[in-house]
Each structure stands twice: as C-alpha cells, then as structure tokens.
Chain A
Amino acid sequence: MKTQSKIIIVVASLLLVLTFFFPIWYIDLEAPQYPEGIGLEIWLNKITGQKPHDLANINGLNHYIGMKEINPDAIPELKIMPFIIIFLVVFGLVSGISGKRSLVYIWIILFIVVAAVGLYDFYMWEYDYGHDLNPNAAIKIPGMAYQPPLIGAKMLLNFNAISMPHLSSWILVVAVVLSLIALYIDKKLIKKDEKHA
C-alpha cells in the first residue's frame, strides 16, 4: 500500500482511541416532570446518567413498572468492549504500518461484525429490560412493554424515549469511512503508477 493510505489507516486506527472518551449511544427521556431533562449514556465500559444522579433516578422511576435495576456491573459486555476496541486499534495499526491490503479488508470486516454484534446485543438488553418485568409492579398495563427503540423515538407511558448514536458511534463510522478512502486512494495511486510505468 502507498504511504498516503498507510497514514490514513494509522490515523483511522488511532481515532478509535477516542471512543474511550465519549459515549456510544444515548437515551433521552422526555416527560413533563423533567423540564431539565433526564437520560442515559452508554459508553464502551459503563452506563451513566446524563447528569450526576440520572441513572439512580431512572432506576427509581423504573421500579414502578417493575423494570430491573440498570446495574452496569451486571452487564459483562461493558467489561469486554474495551478489549475489543484495543484489539481493533492494534489490528488497524498493524495493517496500516504493514500496508497489506488484505489485512485492511479483514480489519474492515471485523469492524462491521463488531458493530453489528454490538447493536444486536444492545437491542437484546433493551428487549430484556423492556420485557422482563416484575409481576408485582405497581403499574401493570396488559400488553405493555417498555423496550426503548434501538434508534428513534417511542412513547413509553409519560416518557418519550429517544435513542440515538452518540459521538463514539460517529467516530467508528469516520474510522471505517477513512479506511475505505485509504483503499480507494491506494487503488487510484497504483493505477496512476501503472500508467506512468
């Protein structure tokens, strides 16, 4: 691979490091009683409230509908994800520095697999929280589940739940796009060389 493309791949790999510093996803909960806003942020390695006590307050509200407490310690994926990202960073650096196109292809495929599995896993947790409800809950509405959308907005009783990708997701997208650009440029440059040769 040409140096220009190598540099882009290395930059794309290092960009992934930023995903440790920003949330991947957020869920805003809008209700008349919360003009100041309340919501969750899902990170690589943790789930937090958007404001200091939001997580505890959401858990407090959720107990009325019998939802399990959202306890980040009980979600093993949050422990695994950082290693997967570190692996992707290292793999990306190796493929960028070595300049092997095949490695870059594998890297991108891995990337997409991780993203797809991650989203599916996120959906399954949402499903679990939304459906596995305490039968003795104070508020029971037959047929009602409280699964927030994977992406988009949905009314859950008095709350409008808005679930959207956060900065880290966009960082991942940018990294993939950058690596695709690297491959494209590389092909062009090689063609150019061939013409001149």
Chain B
Amino acid sequence: MNRRYLKAFLVAISVVAAFVILHYGCQESKDLVAGDEAGRVYVAPGTYDEFYLFTSGGFSGQIGVYGLPSGRMFRVIPVFSQDPEKAWGYSEESKPMFMTSHGFVPWDDAHHPKLSQTDGIADGRWIFINGNNTPRVARVDLSTFKTAEIIEIPNSGGNHGSPFLTENTEYVVASTRFSVPIPNKDVPLNSYKENFKGTISFIKVDKEGAMNVEFQILVPGFNYDLAHGGKGPSHGWAFFTSYNTEQANTLLEVNASQNDKDFIAAVNWKKAEEYLAQGKAKTFNTSYFRNYFDEKKHMGISEENKSVKVLIPEECPGLIYYLPTPKSPHGVDVDPTGEYIAAGGKLASVIVVHSFSKMIKAIENKEFETTIDGIPVLKYESVIGGEVTNPGLGPLHTEFDGNGYGYTSSFISSEIVKWKIGTWEVVDRIPAYYSIGHLCIPGGDSRKPWGKYVIALNKITKDRYLPTGPELTQSAQLIDISGDKMKLLLDFPTIGEPHYAQSIPADILMKNSKKIYPIEENQHPYGIKAEKETRVVREGNVVHVYMSTIRTHFAPDNIEGIKVGDVVYFHITNLEQDWDIPHGFAVKGMQNSELLIMPGATESVVWTPLKEGVYPFYCTDFCSALHQEMSGYIRVSTRGSNVAITYGTGK
C-alpha cells in the first residue's frame, strides 16, 4: 500500500477512536462518589443514627421515619391512609379518625411534616402534617409514633399550605390551595372573580396538643401555596405565598402565570387575636370534624363542629398586608434571625428576600401601591431586603444552616444553591438527582438549625436505582454541608413522594419513646385487665368477645354458639407488658383487616360470618417460640340453631 494512503488511514482511525473514547468516556463520569463518604453514612450494626428524619409520604398519605446519616427506614406511621397491617382505619377504634364532612375518607395526600416548636426550636412533642385533598391537619404523638388527632379545615378548597407553626406552637396555620365559593354553593365556574374566595386558618394547639380552628381570615380568591410563622422579631406574624392572582379558573399553567408579581400575605395574628377578643369575627355556619385518639381509652373519638369564626380584612385594618413577590412564589421561608423572608418565585430569575424590619417601616409609612379587598399592597422596593441572582431555574424552597447561609432548591435546574445572607451571593451549588422539590436541614426552618446535612427531596429518580417497572422508587439524597463545599454522601429510597421532611437529633425523641401501654391505665370500655375477665356476651345478634392475648395463647381460644347473621366484635386486649411484644389477630376470611395490638392496648374488629362452619383464628405477629400454636377456633352455626354460647381456653 502507498505510504501516504496508510498515513491518511491511520489518521482517520485515530480521529474516530478519539471521538468514540470521548463519547463513552464522558458517559462513565456520572458523579461517582469517592473518598470517605461511605464511612460518613455507615452506622455500625447495633448503634444508633444521629438524627430522626420524618418524610411526608406525599400521595401515600403517611409519614416515613428514617435515621440519618444511614438513610435506614424504621417505620411508616399511618396517618391519612388506611393501613390494614396496623388496622389503621379498619379497627373500630381508629375508624372515627377518618371522619370528615364528606364522610369516611380513607386516604389523602400529605406534604409537610412539621415538628412542634418551643421558642422556635423543635421540641419533639408532636409532628403535624397536612392532608391536601380533604383539607385536614394531623398531629402525631412522638412518644408513641401514632396519629393522635386529625382536624378538618372548613371553608378550604385544598390544604396544601399547611401545617406551619408559630414559634411556640400557639397555632398551626393553613391556607387554601384552591379558592371556592364560601360558603360553598352551586355557581358557574366562570364566575370565579365574583364568587370565589380563599381562607387562611389559624388552628390553636393547647398544652395537651388538642387542636381547634380558632379563626379564619377571608381573603381574595387566589391560590394560597405555602406559609411560615415568624420568629424572634417577626414572632406574631405569619407569611403565606399566593399565586393565580390573575384569578383564572381554567388552564392555570398559562393563565395563572401572567402577572409579573403575585403576593406574600403577611398576617399579624396578634392583631387577629385582638379583633377576636373585640368580637369582630363573624360566625360562619359550616361542618367540619375533629377526631382524636384517647390514649387511655385506646379509642378514636369523632366530633362534628358546626361553626367557625371568620375575620374580614376590610373590617380589620392592620390584620394583613400583601408583599409583591415575583412570579408565582412557592416557598416562603423565614431565616433563623426572623428578619429575612425568602420567597421561591418558581418562575422567577432571582430569589427575592423580603426584610421584616423594612416591612414594618413601610407599614408605618403607609408605603402602599394599592389596596385589594381592604388589604394594602406594600411597595416592592420598600420591603425588599435583597435579591439572590443566578439562583438556578425554578427556585422553590429555602432552609438555613444557622451559619449565615441559605440553601435553596431549584426544581428546573435540579440543584441546591447555597447563598450568603446579607451579601446575597451564591457561594456553592450541587446537582440533585432529579428535580428537587423541598429540601431539609435538621432544624433548618427554626431559630436553631443543627445543620450538618441537607437532604434533597426529589421528584424523579429515573436511572438512580435498579428499575422496578414503570413505577420507580422515590428518593432522598443526603448531602454534607459541614464544609465550604456541599458533598453528596448518599441516595436512599423513600415511601410515596418525600415531599418535605423534618429532622431532629435522636436524643430528643429517644428518651420519650414509650415501650408499652400500662395495662392498669387501660380504660377501654371493652378492655380487660386479666385473663379471668375474658368472656363472650350475646346481645341479640351482636356478640362481644372480650379476648386476651399473652404468650402464647388467646383466651378464650374455643368459641361456640356464633350464628350466621351475627355481628361479632372481637375486643382484644394484649396483656403483655413487655417491650416489643405486640400480638396480631385474624380470623379466616376477615373482610376488613387483621389487628396488631400493642402491649397493654385493646383493639376491636368486627366480623360477620357468612356461612356456618369452623373458622380458625391466629396471631399474625411472630411473637414467641410457640407463635404457631397461638391460635383458636370459632364454631359458626346456622342462623336458627340453638347452640349456646360457650367458650374457654385449655378446657
């Protein structure tokens, strides 16, 4: 071959090879984690994580409980959705927890877990979470990790902007995502501007945690999105974002994105309390339910409320102001000092940070642009504290590390951006995989952030895990923020959608965690204190079985005299007083769910046998070496039979 040709050929081959290497080589470089990251997240067997992480289950309606830094899951707390594993929503005791003005609603989508606070710092008593669909707020007791209360919010079209707190958990606040006619009525949808209204609700929380919708504020018919209570100097105020100030009722993606600025509503709730005391509130008739779980009776109790107090801004000057904020603001986050209010304008090119002190000055000087339904709109220039430029695309939420930095999630550019409070300059950024929504720093919404980590709560995982068909796992990412540069440590899967999360040092909660329910305190009306009290009682076609469990038998475990057509209530008391010894209960063909009864608790489940025969029942939670022996039989006779009720164990 001619030498010249050979040379040209070799050149061509090299160029092709170079491109091939470049092409495939680049694909290989996909963010490999290296160095000591594995050691940073390794929690040795038998040792504890440093933090608890509570993630919302999003559309699962529950709360996931994880440890950090390991990302290990400990528990799913059933809140708004039925859970047959724990009989939540199936047992007679828990059914009342699901009552609403729409009847029994067995699910919801839940977004924002929020730890109760004292002096603006998470105190570990409770965690609250919103139900968006059928507007509700739940309170979970963190000594039992059990849902203790669910309150419905009247005059709300959807409860996304909730539950956010005032500094000492005086109030849980909620704002309506969808405006609707208030009171709700049958109107043409295109009469939105004339008929639709929004509400902002203040739910009072008493010392024991009991919730009550103390008052609502009737606000213009926008979409209210998120909120945060003030802290320190801004304690006494709460801030709510709004969008769709265009008041569109169709094709919101376009029609609600037209205005250059929407609003943050700043509510002076101390002023609201004054107006309330002066009797300025109107009483609106409505219907909403408050459901709470009596821990001594082991019983959910549901009560209907028929009215709510409503304040009208036009009649209450100084109650509420609008802060103009660019492009459909989403998150509204107050920094640890209480001075700065960061807004995530989800279509904005900057993060706008309002200044609380400037806002107060602007109010004093009446620097108003205009007034909407009695609500003064402050001048943007008068309230602005700073603008973070180049914050990534689609900034949503900000949390703080307590060292003078804010961390903002940017959904569209899928990254976390770290910026300095005061100078407003971006100092670091790190990609999130993929499409981060909220983010969480332990204590990052409070007066005292514990810092150390930021957790990215992502919407999409694509190729991050082994595929599981069209529905992929959801995921969070643990990022170290202890140094100047953020550093990705760990991906870990979560239940539902990890919409938002809150984290708290483990030692605050661990010491309060209950091990058992003392049997002597059990006041369940169908509970028993000892095996000798077990019995079967017929009342017409209703049969009450007072049954006990203890390793490793049921009492009674042989029951005869049940007839087709009977409604049988099994009231099972777990007499165990030992840590981590629940018992389960299930009868063959159970149409609702099994029971899982904690030590010292009583739970009831109803059973209506359809055919005569013999039905085994057994313990479903592997409790002891003789768990398989923990079983019994129920004899079911025909409707008209005269088999008498008899029962016993070991006879």
Interface residues of A (CB under 8 A from B): 36, 52-53, 56-57, 60, 64, 138
Q: Taking A53-B577, A60-B551, A64-B625 as given, write out 13 further A-B residue pairs in contact, using a Cβ cutoff of 8 Å, ordered by the A residue number.
A: A36-B579, A52-B518, A52-B577, A53-B516, A53-B578, A56-B577, A57-B577, A57-B578, A60-B550, A60-B576, A60-B578, A64-B626, A138-B626
Ranked 4 nearest A-B pairs via Cβ: A53-B577, A57-B578, A56-B577, A60-B551
A56 to chain B, nearest CB (A): 6
CA distance A141 to B551 in the complex (A): 20
Provide the residues of chain A in CB contact with B578, threshold 8 Å. Answer: 53, 57, 60
Residues on the B chain within 8 Å of A64, using CB: 625-626
Nearest opposing residue in chain B for A56, CB measure: B577
Bound-state Cα–Cα, A36 to B513, Å: 14
16 contacts between A and B (CB under 8 A): A36-B579, A52-B518, A52-B577, A53-B516, A53-B577, A53-B578, A56-B577, A57-B577, A57-B578, A60-B550, A60-B551, A60-B576, A60-B578, A64-B625, A64-B626, A138-B626
Per the bound structure, the CA–CA distance linking A57 and B550 in Å amounts to 10
Give B residues with C-beta under 8 Å from A: 516, 518, 550-551, 576-579, 625-626
**Bound: A52/B520 CA distance, A:** 12
Q: Provide the residues of chain A in CB contact with B576, threshold 8 Å.
A: 60
A135 to chain B, nearest CB (A): 15
Q: Which residues of B contact A36 (CB under 8 A)?
A: 579
Residues of A near B518 (CB, < 8 A) are: 52
| Nearest CB of chain A from residue B599's CB, rounded to whole Å | 9
Chain B residues contacting A138 (CB-CB under 8 Å) are: 626
Minimal Cβ-Cβ distance residue in B for A136: B650
Chain A minimum-CB-distance residue to B626: A138
Min CB–CB distance A55 → chain B (angstroms): 10
Tell me, rounded to whole Å, the shortest Cβ–Cβ distance linking B282 to chain A: 53
Q: How far is the CA of A57 from the CA of B600 in the complex (A)?
A: 13
Interfacial chain A residues near B577, Cβ < 8 Å: 52-53, 56-57
CA distance A56 to B625 in the complex (A): 18
Q: Which residues of B contact A53 (CB under 8 A)?
A: 516, 577-578
Question: Tally of A-B residue pairs with Cβ under 8 A?
Answer: 16
Residues of A within 8 A of B551 (CB): 60
Task: Kindly state the separation between the CA atoms of A138 and B630 in the bound complex, as whole angstroms.
Answer: 13
CA distance A138 to B627 in the complex (A): 12
What residues of chain A lie closer than 8 Å to B516, measured between beta carbons? Answer: 53
- Smallest distance from the beta carbon of A34 to chain B beta carbons, Å? 9
Closest to B578 in A: A57
* CA gap between A53 and B600 in the complex, in Å: 11
Most buried by B among A36, A56, A60, A64: A60
Q: Smallest distance from the beta carbon of A146 to chain B beta carbons, Å?
A: 16
The CA-CA distance from A53 to B550 in the complex, in Å, is 14
CA distance A36 to B580 in the complex (A): 11
Residue of B nearest to A53 (CB): B577
- Chain B residue nearest to A57 (CB atoms) is B578
Complex Cα gap A60–B552 (Å): 9
Which of chain B's residues have a CB closer than 8 A to the CB of A56?
577
Closest beta carbon of chain A to B557's beta carbon, Å: 15
Chain A residue with minimal CB distance to B629? A138
Once the chains are docked, how many angstroms separate the CA of A64 from the CA of B578?
16
Closest partner residue, chain A, to B46 (CB atom): A35
* Cβ of B95 to closest chain A Cβ, rounded Å: 30
- Kindly state the separation between the CA atoms of A53 and B599 in the bound complex, as whole angstroms: 11
With a CB–CB cut-off of 8 A, which chain B residues contact A60?
Answer: 550-551, 576, 578
Closest CB of chain B to A137's CB: distance in Å? 11
With A and B bound together, what is the CA distance between A57 and B577 in angstroms? Answer: 7
Instruction: List, in ascending order, chain B residues with CB within 8 A of A57's CB.
Output: 577-578
CB proximity of B460 to chain A, nearest CB, Å: 41
A31 smallest CB distance to B (angstroms): 12
A157 to B227 CA separation, bound complex (whole angstroms): 59
Write the nearest CB–CB distance from B213 to chain A, whole angstroms.
40
Q: In whole angstroms, how far apart are the Cα atoms of A126 and B551 in the complex?
A: 24
CB nearest neighbor in A for B650: A136
Which chain B residue lies CB-closest to A38? Answer: B578
Tell me, in angstroms, the Cα distance from A191 to B268 when the chains sit together: 90
B597 CB, min distance to chain A CBs, angstroms: 16
Q: How far is the CB of A104 from chain B (nearest CB, A)?
A: 48
How far is A57 from B578 in the complex, measured between Cα atoms in Å? 6
A57 to B581 CA separation, bound complex (whole angstroms): 11
A67-B579 Cα distance, complex, nearest whole Å = 22
The complex places the Cα of A138 from the Cα of B551 at a distance, in Å, of 12
Query: Chain B residues with Cβ under 8 A from A52's Cβ?
Result: 518, 577
CA distance A151 to B53 in the complex (A): 47
| Whole-angstrom CA separation of A138 from B518 in the bound complex | 28
A66 CB to nearest chain B CB (Å): 13
In Å, the complex CA distance between A57 and B518 comes to: 13
C-alpha spacing A152/B87, complex, angstroms: 47
Name the residue of chain A whose CB is nearest to the CB of B599.
Answer: A53
A64 to B579 CA separation, bound complex (whole angstroms): 19
Tell me, rounded to whole Å, the shortest Cβ–Cβ distance linking A48 to chain B: 14
Distance in angstroms between the alpha carbons of A138 and B553 in the assembled complex? 12
Min CB–CB distance B48 → chain A (angstroms): 13
A56 to B516 CA separation, bound complex (whole angstroms): 14
Question: Most B CB atoms within 10 A — which of A36, A53, A56?
Answer: A53
Q: Closest chain B residue to A138 by CB distance?
A: B626
How many angstroms from the CA of A56 to the CA of B530 in the assembled complex? 12
Which residues of A have CB within 8 Å of B579?
Answer: 36
Complexed CA–CA distance, A49 and B551 (Å): 19
Residue of B nearest to A158 (CB): B625
Taking CB atoms, residues of chain A closer than 8 Å to B625 are: 64
Closest partner residue, chain B, to A60 (CB atom): B551
Provide the bound-state CA to CA distance between A60 and B625, in Å: 13
- Closest beta carbon of chain B to A195's beta carbon, Å: 65
The answer for the CA separation of A52 and B626 in the assembled complex, in Å, is: 25
Chain A residues with CB under 8 Å of B550's CB are: 60
